[in-house]
């Protein structure tokens, strides 16, 4: 079933409710969603950006990205142990796109064709194969780690001793390792969503309906997937195409895309108005999910049942915020976000500062 999902009006206030399960039926006043507050803004020399964040059950936080000092870029890994922050020394000398960890002495970061493991004392780098640049990674334990790359129809799986290449029935750009032997991945195959499930032995396609696209040349992207339960799975992304506005100028158009699995079938919604795509989805610990819309000064939605509530993302006056990743502390409703903040006004020499947000 394909339904219309209206984008939130730009003037909608924090706490506005998006009513109707994947379908817009109006707005009404409700208790606002929890506010996302900055808990750390880096003061490192040069520019630094956080691309991915993961949180462990003990409350420790890992984040990975890059920093630029004197024109030279290298990887950046930061850790919060529940009490203090530290930059993990000797990070790999390349852009880091994904991170997953199981303890303070077992963390993995991923860059161009490579994965690097932190054992509490130093880094060990392992090749994942030329052309395999991980876009997402997740784990259920130290011997069950998955990584996917949006350009590859294979995944990489760590079994505790080595990385193995595992065939996928389609390309996957996002993965959620739910429990040992159960994982979901999402991407596109041709120009339709491709949802895959790991049963402990192999990856198989979960049938997804064809989409009714708003333009013949529209391109579908799936950017993230989240497993709340065996009968509650979300995948999000967007639809984009080029066209002309009322003045005849060439412009880029985009609409949101959200898919929900109830254990039997998918409900799929494409937004009805021009809007930024959904970029992240994460279980909220209450049976619902958090959805990130866009990255630059993004909108955060808490989805509970049929209600979408907009949350406030706090940033220092005079700055813009970019959020690339959100993650939940397992067993709680505490959420973390990571990205960067930068002075407004496009200064000649902007300084991006890696930033962490948190809400409960």
User: What does the pLDDT read at residue 346?
Assistant: 66
Q: Number of structural domains, the chain? A: 1
* Pair 269, 22: CB distance under 8 Å: yes
Cα-atom radius of gyration of the chain, to the nearest Å?
20
345 in a domain, yes or no?
Answer: yes
Alpha helical stretches, state H, the chain: none
CATH number (domain holding residue 25)? 2.130.10.10
Look at residue 243 and tell me if it is in a domain.
Answer: yes
What distances in angstroms separate CA 304 from CA 4, 70, 165, 261, one per listed residue?
18, 46, 37, 15
pLDDT, tens digit, for every residue of 20-72? Answer: 335 433 334 467 899 999 999 999 999 999 999 999 999 999 999 999 988 89
Any domain includes 1: no
pLDDT at 345: 80
**Total length of the chain:** 360
Q: Which residues of the chain register pLDDT less than 50? A: 1-21, 23-29
In a domain, 6, yes or no: no
Sort strands 319-328 and 2-5 into parallel, antiparallel or unpaired.
unpaired
Let me know if residue 75 belongs to a domain: yes
Q: Is the pTM of this model over 0.85?
A: yes
What beta strand segments (E) does 199-262 contain?
203-206, 219-229, 232-244, 250-261
Tell me 20's DSSP state. Answer: S
Full domain range(s) for residue 59: 12-359
- Greatest alpha-carbon span in the chain: 60
pLDDT at residue 304, rounded to an integer: 93
How far apart (Å, rounded) are the C-alpha atoms in residues 27 and 119?
A: 50
214 part of a folded domain: yes
Cα(183)–Cα(257) distance, integer angstroms: 22
Q: Per the domain annotation, does 276 fall within a domain?
A: yes
Q: Is residue 107 part of a domain?
A: yes
């Amino acid at each position: 079933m394909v339904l219309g999902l209206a984008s939130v009006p730009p003037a909608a206030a924090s706490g506005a409710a998006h009513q109707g399960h994947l379908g817009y039926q109006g707005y009404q006043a409700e208790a606002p969603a929890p506010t996302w507050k900055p808990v750390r803004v880096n003061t490192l020399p040069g520019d630094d950006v956080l691309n991915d964040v993961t949180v462990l059950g003990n409350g420790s936080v890992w984040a990975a990205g890059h920093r630029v000092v004197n024109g030279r870029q290298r990887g950046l890994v930061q850790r919060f142990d529940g009490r203090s922050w530290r930059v993990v020394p000797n990070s790999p000398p390349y852009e880091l796109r994904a991170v997953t960890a199981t303890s303070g002495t077992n963390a993995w970061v991923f860059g161009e064709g490579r994965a690097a493991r932190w054992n509490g004392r130093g880094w060990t780098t392992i090749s994942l194969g030329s052309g395999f640049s991980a876009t997402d990674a997740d784990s259920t334990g130290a011997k069950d780690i998955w990584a996917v790359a949006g350009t590859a129809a294979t995944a990489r799986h760590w079994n505790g001793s080595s990385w193995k290449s595992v065939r996928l029935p389609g390309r996957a750009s996002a993965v959620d390792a739910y429990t040992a032997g159960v994982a979901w991945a999402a991407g596109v195959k041709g120009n339709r969503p491709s949802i895959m499930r790991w049963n402990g032995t192999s990856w198989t396609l979960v049938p997804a309906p064809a989409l009714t696209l708003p333009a013949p040349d529209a391109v579908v992207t799936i950017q993230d997937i989240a497993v709340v339960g065996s009968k509650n799975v979300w995948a999000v992304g967007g639809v984009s195409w080029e066209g002309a506005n009322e003045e005849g100028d060439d412009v880029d158009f985009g609409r949101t895309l959200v898919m929900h699995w109830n254990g039997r079938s998918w409900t799929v919604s494409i937004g009805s108005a021009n809007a930024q795509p959904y970029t992240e989805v994460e279980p909220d610990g209450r049976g619902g999910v958090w959805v990130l819309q866009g990255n630059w000064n993004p909108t955060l939605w808490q989805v509970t049942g049929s209600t979408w509530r907009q949350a406030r993302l706090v940033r220092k006056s005079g700055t813009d915020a970019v959020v690339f990743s959100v993650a939940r502390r397992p067993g709680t409703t505490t959420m973390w976000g990571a990205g960067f903040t930068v002075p407004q006004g496009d200064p000649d020499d902007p300084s991006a500062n890696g930033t962490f947000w948190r809400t409960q």
